[in-house]
Structure 1
Amino acid sequence: MSTGCTGFDFFEQSELPAPRVSETQAQQILSTHYGLTARVVSLGSQQDRNFVVTGDDGTGLGVLKVANTAFTPVELAAQDAAARLIDEAEPDLRVAVPLDNSAGEKCTTITGLAPGPTYVRLLRYLPGGTLSESAHLSAAAVAGLGDIAGRVSRALRDFTHPGLDRKLQWDLRFGIEVVDRLSSHVSDPVLRSRLESVARDAWSRISPLDAALPRQAAHIDLTDANVVVTPGAGGVRPDGVIDFGDLSHTWAVSELAITASSVLGHAGAQPSSVLPAIRAFHAVRPLSESEAQALWPLLVLRTAVLIVSGAQQAALDPDNDYLTEQSDAERQMFDLAASVPLDVMSAVVMAALGLAGTPAPVTAQVPLVAVDPAAVATLDLSTTSELYDGAFDAGLPGDVASEAAAAALQRGAALVVTRFAEARIGQAPLLSQDSPVATGISVWPATDIDVAAPWDGLATEDGPGRVTLRGNDLALTVTGVRDAAHGAVQAGQRLARADAHQRVEVSVRTAQAPVPPPFTRTDLAPGWLAFARDPRPLLGLAPQHTGRPPTDLLSRRDASFASVQEFYYRTPPQIERGRRHFLMSTAARSYLDMVNNVTVLGHAHPRVADTASRQLRRLNTNSRFNYEAVVEFSERLAALLPDPLDTVFLVNSGSEASDLAIRLATAATARRDVIAVREAYHGWTYGTDAVSTSTSDNPNALATRPDWVHTVESPNSFRGKYRGPEVFRYAEDAVAQIDEMSAAGRAPAAFICESVYGNAGGMALPSGYLHQVYAAVRAQGGLAISDEVQVGYGRLGHWFWGFEQQQAVPDIVSIAKSVGNGYPLGAVITSREVAERFSSQGYFFSSTGGSPLSCAIGMTVLDVLRDEGLQQNAVHVGGHLKARLEALRDRHPIIGTVHGFGLYLGVEMVRDTATLEPAPEETAAICDRMLELGVIIQPTGDHMNILKTKPPLCIDNAAADFYVDTLDRVLTEGW
């Protein structure tokens, strides 16, 4: 044990029950020594006694801290001086500095509360609550926590004081001694043994680094419980520091280890959840290589210290509820910290800080198998591999690798191998958060072959068909073999026998490293791969680099792609594959797609792909040539519409379709004025942008309308001007406005409206709204345009077209998105009379609208909708999904309502169920957390507070449940 000290020494006085001070006594102290008459409420604390002090109006006046009698005035003075130093050095941080008592002193000495003097201080009150009150910590909050720890460490770098000479159980220099002394208080023998083992393992990594670790004054309790936040709609921002009671002179890196450990006690945490804090700390106060190596073992040791200390304190102070409340989180911290081997997580930390080196390739005295490298075929099993084209049609693909290997062997390959460190999409479950990275390779030989020992070593059979050869520096494991060798083996001797066409797994690691799993998560891959080695050189092959060299794709995008073309998410995954209602990233992550209403059939539908390939091999030209596809597709579209809508124009997009619809109306009526509904979006062309009034798409939408565009009130029955029994007045007001325009000599050419309010989150229009407004505009000689670009094509379930839900028939219908299942295809359907009046504008032509390829794809989409019963699926799955979302609304007040029908839904988020104040920042943060958990969802609406829930129509109940369960988790844990 280390030498003595002038201050408190835990090893001489290891029992520290908190002072027995009641709230009444605390009020008396405030009145007598601080001249305050105030309310006090006891706060949680392990060894001191703390009270929050508030005025009659609830305003925080301070925190009364009654120090444990074991601590000396010199130690308390050091804490107060450190707090003031940080307060001055970091003006952006809020710091709980001590306030003066009635005598103008920082510390009050009281007798009579305990056998000796009791020291009391009133500290500055920091409003906002602590980070520990957040169930889940976002990456931004974790980074904020690390930033504060770095700033405190920087401020205290040169701080000295006699009161720092103390031995606390929280000082990780004494961590192993604390565990040894207190572990007997842990009643569970299995947990006790594990704590002791894990602590000793961590200490074995720390102690050799002792001399290389800088020491300084440190707070060593900058945990979530002692970091105060400023709440915000999108989450909390850490910006305050309290409780300097553990201030000590110790290893500087302890500050970060203790801070980061607290992250692991929160909902949804993983070991890698601490990385934002580590990076943020390093950016402020750079870590040395030795500190980075010691960091994770110190963090693990900290979690063991917490549990044994908590067990001791619970025995000393059984009525202390704070201890009980902390115990579950502390156990989670320990379990997570110990769930990954120490060296692996240390390597993850080193990689995160850019301190990891590049391991040298393995070399062999003798090749693992005798094969000509030119006869070896390498499989690509990444997300972009052609092997997975069509492989996800019925869910997870089968053993694509073995099937591809068999084909390669049949083509004459002597050996087939996979790639090392490859993110394998075929191994990723569809509804999960997994992202598997291979830590070894697979090998398929064409014939029965001997597997030779590549170096001298000791062979052991680890299980059926599994042999490991341990050399001086490396260990080789081969699985899926027979006749394995035992004992000492020389290079070149047979290690095992591999059968023809059978899969053999090969992995190599450094000799003392833990055995890696066959696949690891992407976040842990840098750790496991720091010790794993590419086995390919043992086969005489060059090391395999997976994919392209690392590049910043977003920077490349910004350099060549107009930045006004935004992308989803601040740090988006790179999506390179889709199948059905899933999107897949290059990190082998599968995401549930809840927003892609364009791909109505689902992503990469094989029938659409086959149709496109077949038609491109045959003919693709424009509709001025005479071919059957354009006629058949037009006939089929017209047949889906009620009379008199029988004439079709084919275009490339929804914007073009709605733009053409407006031009048709103005040409047919010889007028220029158009009426649009507020909060709507219709497209990006000059005409459709003019009638688009959504301020989320264009903040100046209403102010920049041309004079020929007139808007009517948004018929928003949830939060609009009229609600409940008064919603019928939206139609009355619109009719009155149409009549007023006509009386003023500006009768409208058209009224354009989405038949279900898409931009507002799939909101139904008031009953009879379109019927009344269509009648009014026609009475004045105008035409009714139904924008079905988003809502049409069976998405509503019970109705193929949105206007059917309103029991109204428009004069012109614009469609797109679903029409081509992602292929650029749109259409306008109107009457023959309206279409022929367009001849006054000259002739109409679209280069690719109506091409043989477009028409063939369009007809295939209609076929699949029918053959796969996708409109019926929208009824069944959509009904199930909406019912579950509505049940969620009953449990989470932030959900104001659930809009829509079928699979055209919107989950509206509000801050107040009475005022319906929108929750845009919360919605954005919820979407970010949903992405972390495997769901792609985005905000919509003028307030950007509605979850746009419009998945491909092939979605099933399991996926719908995954979406709702994930949303429930986010709303429960936080974002």
Structure 2
Amino acid sequence: MNDMLKTKPDFSVEEASALLVQHFGLKGTLAPLDSERDQNFKVTADGATYILKIVNAAEPEIESDFQTALLRHLGECAGDIPVPHLRPTVSGASLAEATGSRGLAHRLRLVSWLPGLPLAQSRHSDAALQSLGQILGRFDAALKGFMHPGALRDLDWDIRHSGRSADRLHHIADADDRALLERFISRFEEQVAPRLPMLRAGVMHNDANDWNVLVDEGDHDRIAGIIDFGDALYTPVIAEVAIAAAYAGLDHADPIGAAAAIARGFHAEYPLLEEEIEQLFDLIAMRLVTSVTMSASRRAEVDGNPYLAVSEKPAWALLRKLDAVNPRFATAILRHACGFEAVAGARAVSAWIERHGKQLWPILERPLATYPADLIPYAEPAHPMTVASAGERPHEAQAIWEAHCRAAGVALGIGPWGEARTVYSGDMFASRLIADTRRTRHLGLDLFMPAGTSLHTPLAATVVSAEVEREPLGYGCLVALRHEPEGCPPFVTLWGHLAHEAASRLKPGDRLQAGGLVGEMGAPEENGGWAPHLHLQISTDTRLPATEILGVGEERYLDVWAELFPNAATFAGVAPEFFTRAGRTHEEIVRLRRELLLPNLTISYEKPIKFVRGEGVWLIDDRGRAYLDCFNNVCHIGHAHPAVVEAMAGQAARLNTNTRYLHDNIIAYAERLTATMPKDLTVAAFVNSGSEANSLALRLARTHTARDNAIVLDWAYHGTTQELIDLSAYKFRRKGGQKPHVHVARIPDSYHAPSDWPIAEHGRRFAENVAELIAAMKARGEGPGFFLAESIPSVAGQVFLPEGYLKEVYRMVREAGGVSIADEVQVGFGRVGSHWWAFETQGVVPDIVTMGKPIGDGHPLAAVVTTREIARSFNNGMEYFNTFGGNPVSCAVGLAVLDVIERDDLRRNALDIGNYLVAAFRAMQERYDVIGDVRGQGLFLGIELVADRRTKAPATEIARAVSNGARRRGVLMGTEGPHDNVLKMRPPMIFSRRDADHLVAVLDETFEAVLSGAA
């Protein structure tokens, strides 16, 4: 540098003016400009402004030629980029030469003046820095393919040579400062320098500091130009961003944010690669390391010039800031700014969890969404976390929360991801990224339950660490698990505020299977001083140690943290409806139902439920609570089955019309449906509901037999039309009375059969009642037109007919000239497991079969199948037509349901799970005298409750209490039978062993509570 000062030009203004005229043909006004090694003048001539540069005599000719070639290239290839442009000499050359007073030869260059204000004198807004990145990106992109020997010079400011800073460390007097630089240099040498040769390189500006960048004087958010190409050279592309970011971060409240803005702008013009961004943080730091070590070296050369020490201060301050920042967080912010994932695979992890969330093991004893839950509002001053976070009275916080749970009927408290929490006031929550800012956004999911609550991993895992933080308001016991599910990048889950036993039980490398015990919620004295809860967090960056995973983050970077630490709600099993509630309130809906709907349209349960979504075996209410659906057998293969949804939407998008036109679907479905029936049942008709199906069956029977007399079972229910109400004792026994053509047979209920009847004779004995009814008709000169019965009477209390009953009754009815109608609306389509149709379990073939509910998995579809003989009788000249029955969409849905039943072997599943449940219910019967009878086949189940097993007197109130108690615990079932004392369960055919265990556990808990008076 001293040599450069000796050779610096020293022309006067008059001499420079003369050179301007001589070499460039311009006469104007000159004003000297500051320059460290050259001599510069601002020139105003001919209405334009220029800079006349007189180059230091010591500058190698190749460097002058390089800068000249660079400017010429930009002028020719990218004239719109705001950089100085060459004005040629009068001879057309790019440079001129002049001899100074000391006899030294100097080169002259005249370039256009760029108006603007140095960036150093304006605010470093995000917009300005992004604009800077864009200009640099355009600049470097314009230089692709440009090369000059001068670009290959050896320069300490070349970022590839940052490691040379180690040779200047002896100029750093303070040991701590030296150690700080050594940490950055070591990281550079070990992790960055070996990768630099593999990165893209080109000719770069290499010195976009605040004084070399101009902003528009009227709009400081817009970069107006870049000047001074003295440090330009061939170097890695990412160096351009790193150097600009290093200078932009000086005295900036958020230096990483500043770097991100520059990177974002650069990437928009000159797309960066992920491997380049991975090195950016370290390169920013190393530019600063080079700067402070060079300054220290110069101070030594000029006897400790105090000005140089002052100018170093911002760089040292920024280095200390960067030293406190986790490089992985900085890199995540920089990656995200350029549109990349915060860490590779982050979005794939979130997508995998979203797709597979419903298959994960429950984190609590049963699925989390089944617990009555409440949101934790941090704004409430009396909230337990607020009290505890002050470092005071954690047990009081626990008591406050438990009292709230009792008053609200809540079992689980949930603190959501992303919530703003001003309660985080300790020094530990100060941001290391942004000056004078606190980390206030919660990056985990909090689950509040009593201390001792067991917690289980939803996925198989390997223990990464298990440790105890003993600081107040820390995590207490903290466990990190690594998960590597198939088809998903690995990720880590963090489990905080556990009881200490987990740290002694779990060791790094231990394997946990899905459902394995992680630990228990800790009490305040061992969980960091908080009300008992779990802090659950996901980290898609598996290289972060557990103690460095941010539990709370800055609001500015919430979108980055969302990828690095995605919301664990789905992983834990929290339904999205818990956080977002829409629509009318329960009270408003009840009021409007009374005003707008028929008043006798009833609502289930003492406390009505508003469901907003169905998924598989679950129904989810408007508060995000999931209920195990063991009652609504409309959802035969599960709520919103993808195959049904796809078939419905696909066909609806193509065509839906009536049966007056030809279409393949109705034929295909009729073939498939009748193929499941005995060979005599070959003719199908399609309608929209079970009631329509039964009404059509009556028309078929009456037309075929020319009789109206009906034999039905007591307490039966067959539909909503008036003629079906007349045949439904369940309805007319309560109001309306029995019609003369309706003949009611005794319920063939073996449990309530006379005690002196041998079990083997139950079928024949109950059938004798039907024989009596037929005999009474014959005595009046009449006969039965039809016998209509559910193959397993449902409303009557899940009554399984005694062996031989239907065979005997069908025989008698047919011999008397009538036909037999099997109502399979509730029990068909494989529900009994052993057969497609429940009548097959009795070894009979009805004349007419009706079906509804399960046929379309919730879509309004129903059918009647009969013999060809009866179909011919019905073809009496009166047209039969149903506008929507058998339409293409409905038939597509019906076909999808059959496909799923067959493909997934759901009949076998129904039989296996049904047998498992019956065995569990019978084991329960041994414990609870109130259970008088357990009955079921496949997934059609009933439990009859009695006040006394000897007398079999109905325990109606207990049955209702159990049904409502199960509902409060998240399981839906109903009560049926003449006395409403039979618990009725008809789960979807996809019911699993885990679902069955959940049902049994809830029933057991409910019985215990009801019978002890604690329900």
TM range (shorter): 0.3 to 0.5
Q: Give the TM-score of the pair, scaled to structure 1.
A: 0.48
Greater RCO (Cα-Cα under 8 Å, separation 6 or more): 1
TM-score (norm. length: structure 2): 0.46
